[in-house]
Structure 1
């Protein structure tokens, strides 16, 4: 009987800790999403300012490469999914891969001309930061999901202790 009480106490303590962890992860996820939203808004604002400065025809989809554009090499960013060995959780990070190593990599901002307004550079940087914030939010979501699964498993164990 004493063993059951000790096990129950250990399970309840672990459940309390996991619940507090999940609440802090929820708060962190909300903060990251707010920062992501602000970063996107700032990027869009700088993009609008650049479009105003250069003219609406100089910053538009017309400057994007098409099928008839000359060949170029651009850097590609992909997500890598790594399993952490300590906790068994997954984490994501951005990996930059060059499409063709022998060709020079072109900066997409050059599609809009040689002398672009500083606002276009700011917009590009803000969107890059937004991507980083999104990856961090995904990692926090993954941790939260793992914590909630652990809480559910412990609740089942606790319920089974009272059935016996």
Structure 2
């Protein structure tokens, strides 16, 4: 195989980097639009329900995140992100909750409710009949979360690594 011209390789990597940066900028603009739309809908809900009806006092006493962002970074590679829903269990969580001997007698008392029930809708914290703008705010923030979880946040890392190798 013939060796490629280093300038041509740099040009192709630069074009790829610029394309990735353009895609990243478009995703950031979409994310900002969703978050801005969410805050506007939230302020409309506060106006409709009253400032004291939509605020931190209505939050649940024990809030659990519905989505967690996990990261891993290789020593020489790019950092990777992925989102884990609250309903999924990791292998460490599977198995008995307590390491004790159990008796297999009949059921004498009512079973205790599961301490980690299915995630509830946070809109229920604000009442049963919530304004449509509050539902719109929730949907906008969820769409923004989905934009943030998409790949493409580490745009151009391969190009930077290649340029440092060539120079």
Structure 2 residue 116 is matched with structure 1 residue 126: no
Within the candidate set 152, 158, 161, 1:140 is matched to 152
1:99-120 Cα shifts (integer Å, max 9, x gaps): 8686242111111111001111
In structure 1, the gaps of 5 or more residues are 157-164
Structure 2 residue 164 is matched with structure 1 residue 152: yes
Aligned to 2:81, what secondary structure does the other structure show?
Answer: strand
1:1-164 alignment runs, 5 A limit: 7=3, 9=5, 11-66=6-61, 74=64, 76-81=66-71, 91-98=80-87, 103-136=117-150, 139-154=151-166, 156=167
Q: TM-score, normalised by structure 1?
A: 0.72
Deviation, structure 1 residue 90: 5.4
Separation in structure 2 between the aligned mates of residue 105 and residue 39 of structure 1, nearest angstrom: 23
Deviation, structure 1 residue 153: 1.2
RMSD between aligned residues: 2.7
Aligned to 1:141, what secondary structure does the other structure show?
Answer: coil
Structure 1 outlier segments of 4+, above 6 Å = none
Q: Contact (CA 8 Å) 2:53, 2:126: kept in 1 or not?
A: yes
Larger RCO (CA within 8 A; separation ≥ 6): 2
Aligned to 2:84, what secondary structure does the other structure show?
Answer: strand
1:60-101 Cα shifts (integer Å, max 9, x gaps): 11101236xxxx8x4531124579xxxx76543322023868
Deviation, structure 1 residue 8: 5.5
Aligned to 1:7, what secondary structure does the other structure show?
Answer: coil
Q: Contact (CA 8 Å) 2:31, 2:147: kept in 1 or not?
A: yes
Corresponding pairs, count: 139
Separation in structure 2 between the aligned mates of residue 21 and residue 107 of structure 1, nearest angstrom: 42
Q: TM-score, normalised by structure 2?
A: 0.71
